[in-house]
Amino acid sequence: MCKKMCNFARILFKIAKQMENQKEERREQEIVYSRSVKAGKRIYYLDVRKARNNDLYLSITESKRRQGEEGEAPSFEKHKVFLYKEDFAHFTEGLQDVIAFVQSQLGNIEDRQEYIPETKEEAEAVEEEPKKKGLLGFLRK
C-alpha cells in the first residue's frame, strides 16, 4: 500500500512540475516585442503580445508613481488598454486627428524635456520600474 502511495505521489509531483514548466513557457512567449516610453513621472509600456491563437495584439500600460504614506514605499498605479490589430488603422487615424487638433489649437508642441527627478526618492522610484525593450513607430509620420 505504501509503495502505491509513494508512486502516486511521484506521478503527481511530475505532473505538477510539467504544468509549472508549461506555465513558465507560456509566460515567456506572451510578450513578443516591448518598448517603454518615459514621460515625466509616467512610464508607458507598449507590449506586443501573442494570443493563444497566435494572433498579435498591443497592450498599452500606463504606470504612474504614487507616493506612499509616511514611512511606506511608493507604489505604482497601472492602467491597461488592449488594442487589436484590426483596430490599429482606426486607432492610428483617430490619434493623429486628435494630435493635429491639439497642434492647431496650441501651435507647435515642444517635445518634453528629459524628466529630472527632484529628489533622491523620485530618482530611485523611476529606476525601480522594470525596464522593457522597443515599439510605436507606426504612429510617427
Tell me the pLDDT of the chain (141 aa) as tens digits. Answer: 677 777 777 888 888 887 776 765 555 458 999 999 998 888 999 999 998 888 999 999 999 988 777 778 888 899 999 999 999 999 999 999 998 999 999 887 777 666 566 665 555 555 555 544 444 444 444
Q: What CATH number does residue 129 fall under? A: 3.10.450.700
Does residue 58 lie in a domain region?
yes
Does residue 10 lie in a domain region?
no
pTM for the full model? 0.56
Give every CB contact of residue 66 below 8 A, 6+ residues apart in sequence: 74, 75, 76, 77
Does residue 36 lie in a domain region?
yes
Q: What is the CA radius of gyration of the chain?
A: 22
Q: What is the pLDDT of residue 125?
A: 56
Does residue 13 lie in a domain region?
no
Does residue 123 lie in a domain region?
yes
Does residue 96 lie in a domain region?
yes
Per the structure, how many domains does the chain have?
1
Looking at residue 96, what DSSP letter applies? Answer: H
Q: What is the pLDDT of residue 46?
A: 95
- Residue 95 belongs to domain spanning: 30-139
